[in-house]
Structure 1
Amino acid sequence: MGGDVGRLRAAVVGTGLIGGSILLRLHEAGLRVVGWDPDPATRAAGRRRGLTFPDDLADAVRDRDVVFLGGPLPSLPQTLLTVAGLTDDRCVVTDVGSTKAAVAEFAGAHGLTGRFVPGHPMAGAERAGLTAALAGLFVDAAWVLCPSVDGLGPFRSLVGLVVDVFHAHAVPMSPGVHDSVVALSSHVPHLLAGSLAGAAADSAVRDAVVRLAAGSFRDGTRVATTPARRTADMLLANRAQVLRQLAEVRAALDGLAEAVRADDLPTLVDRYERAAAVRRPRPESAPPVRREFALDGDPADELAFVRSIGESGGHLTGCTVAGGRVTYTGVRPADAPA
């Protein structure tokens, strides 16, 4: 895959909220894009919106340059295997699942790492399905990509799509680091939201809580309205990391509770000041980071560099291949290691 983005032929398999939003944006951008979903009603709804939705999966992915895989997390490995069998080796495949280590390991076991790049656009909403999809959902959102050492070619092409078509931030990471990060930034918050909303639901003063709920309760329980099966699949798919990070959160919560119990004002103030600092944006580097690599050079060096950008809190702003070299531009927090 490469060349003029506008000439790319794309397919989106699984057109729920994320897949549907990808489909809408690619269609809006003028790419030749086809959608497919296992649900006949979804395919019919897509056609009514002027989108191409064949009934046969093979017809949807035939002769495509890039295929995005959506759908429930447990279905992604088999969908990857099926789509790989229906496309040739030039077709780049990526997914949008919220955990990465398991699908990356599956791809490695089936010899697909040279054309499959695990991905995770970090955007969403509580509603689900194609009817909830938005073409602009990914603007300024982080879009994680997890290239392998033999998949840097497809990765470079996907960076171009993520940045130039979706206007998102391309964030390279290893699959393991991704799963650790999202456990604390996304998955544990779903547990906390569920526990807080669940406690309110079981409370003797439930109706009064709902009536008087202020911004802190609404913000803290917002993701509890995410479709329950989607949340459960996400938590179980990243179980080890979720439980590890939850133990850290429990320790922090226990520390706050102990300070309240001990009437310890200084400790409470200190802990909340430290917590507030995490919410403040870190200044990005200026001028932007820029690195070149020879296409016939050591791919391990290139892989280490791009991962270092994402894993230090930065993102790529561009990727250009010309004259036997690849040039990356990006930004990272000013206080991140060079």
Structure 2
Amino acid sequence: MVASSGTRVRAAVVGTGLIGGSILLRLHRAGLDVTGWDPDPATRLAARDAGVPAPDELTAAVAGRYVVFLCGPLPTLPETLLTVAAATGGECVLTDVGSTKGGLAAFAAAHGLTHRFVPGHPMAGTDRAGLGAAEPDLLTGAAWVLCPSAGPGLPAFRWLTGLLGEVFQARVVPMAADRHDAVAALASHVPHLLAGALAGAVDRSALRDAVLALAAGSFRDGTRVAGTPPERTANMLLGNREHVLRELAGVRSFLDELAGALADADAGALTAGYRDARATRTALTGRAFTEIHRSFPADTGSDHGDGGDHGTGGDHGDGGRDGGGPGADGGREELDFLLGIGAAGGHLSRCRISGTAVEYTAHKPAGEMERG
């Protein structure tokens, strides 16, 4: 649908700050026909200096594109989505990189864009901002959430999954939008609150300068995201307020347990609490995954072609936007499989349309296999 085999993918990135700029630079380096746009004239000029076309008008930047990444501030995304949707063809895949998904997914559904808008969130970043901080390798190998929907939206999800795997080597995590927001609250948003609280408490302390003189790895690691631009952090927290407050209550409860054990000089309880915490920290890098291959029927009666090459210079055959719509059940079995992989802590590394089937390579934590 988006690009037939051998056709060079035409992409656009709207909002070229840290994340958008890193996507832009990576797509450019991968050989895609990519344009960038940013509301800041100086940023557009910087993109041109990097060799990437950056028209002054948003509509000119996205016209005729096969895929558009929306990377502006969270509050601007609904309006930008409508503007870009109106300026692009109905077959153009739209996705975003916002840190909350539920609100924008519902907005897209209310405006009839589910068939081509795939909510997304790459889980990577730094405490810097702007195109000058962007790096083409920033998102390499990152967990990249995509929110699939049944029915007409599955082809867009398939195609985008293939593109992200091919260009970014992304670990695509399929996840429902509301599930993402609950998980991201603990994985990303509450840590921003804790980092801000620790750094803010030190800032108000009479010991501030002495603390900074002694600050080593634990303080630097624990407060790293407090260096994120404050407006960006506030937008993120407010955009996921209910989930953040709910999960923060659990963090407070655990902290109270640790503080209570300390107050009571209860070494056993304190050690037990940190033993649990250490197990989770160790699991960040110690999990084993089992590879799974699954295929589902793809509707080949559509006029979208035979799927395949993203046009980045190789015979990759990934994706699926060209490969037709969902199968006879509206893609429900496929969607259940995808959401189950994400809910179990797994990810996708490949999606391919082959003949009348869509084929996935998935990776699921080994301990989840018996329950999956």
TM-score range, shorter chain: over 0.9
Q: Deviations over 1:263-312 (max 9, x none)?
A: 111000101001111112353333x1011100123211111111111111
Does the alignment pair 1:29 with 2:30?
A: yes
Q: Does 1:230 align with 2:232?
A: yes
Partner of 1:331: 363
One-letter amino acid matched to 1:32 = D
Which residue is equivalent to 1:297? Answer: 328
Give the CA deviation at 1:126.
0.8
Aligned pair count reads 337
Aligned-partner Cα distance in 1 for 2:343–2:270: 31
Q: What is the alpha-carbon distance in structure 1 between the residues aligned to residue 3 and residue 254 of structure 2?
A: 48
State the secondary structure of the residue aligned to 1:224.
helix
- How many Å separate the matches in 1 of 2:287 and 2:247? 26
Q: 8 Å contact 1:96–1:118 — kept in the other structure?
A: yes
Q: Distance in 2 between matches of 1:200 and 1:246?
A: 21
**Unaligned stretches of 5+ residues in structure 1:** none
1:312 pairs with 2:347: no
Matched residue SS, 1:75: helix
Aligned pairs (5 A) from 1:41-190: 41-150=42-151, 151-190=153-192
Deviation, 1:317, is 1.0
- Cα offsets for 1:32-57 (capped at 9, x unmatched): 00111111111111111111001111
Which of 200, 225, 230 does residue 198 from structure 1 map onto? 200
The 1:135/1:53 distance shift into structure 2, 3 A limit, reads same
Question: Equivalent pairs: percent with the same residue?
Answer: 59
1:332 match: secondary structure: strand
For structure 2, the residue ranges without an aligned partner over 5 or more in a row are: 299-326
Which residue type is aligned with residue 232 of structure 2?
Answer: R
Say if 1:157 and 1:235 are closer, same or farther in 2 by CA, change over 3 A: same
d(CA) in 2 for partners of 1:176, 1:278: 23
Residue identity in the other structure for 1:306: L
Residues 200 and 209 in structure 1, CA contact (< 8 A), matched pair in contact too: yes
Task: Write out per-residue CA displacement over residues 114-157 of structure 1, whole angstroms, 9 at most, x where no aligned residue.
Answer: 00000001110111111111101111210000011131100001
Alignment of 1:272-287 (within 5 A): 272-281=274-283, 282-286=286-290
Counterpart of 2:67, as a letter, is V
Q: What secondary structure does 1:159 align onto?
A: helix
Task: State how far apart, in whole Å, the 2-side matches of 1:168 and 1:185 are.
Answer: 18
Instruction: Kindly state the Cα deviation for residue 215 of structure 1 after the two structures are TM-superposed.
Output: 1.1
Tell me if the contact between 2:169 and 2:349 (Cα under 8 Å) persists in the aligned partners. no
Distance 1:240 1:19 in 2: 27
**Deviation per CA, 1:154-212, whole angstroms, max 9, x where unpaired?**
00011111111011111100001100011001000000000000110111111110001
**Aligned-CA RMSD value:** 1.1
Question: Match for residue 273 of structure 2?
Answer: 271
Deviation digits for residues 1-59 of structure 1 (CA, Å, limit 9, x no counterpart): 24448611100011111111111000000000011111111111111111100111111
Contact 2:11 2:33 in 1 (8 A): yes
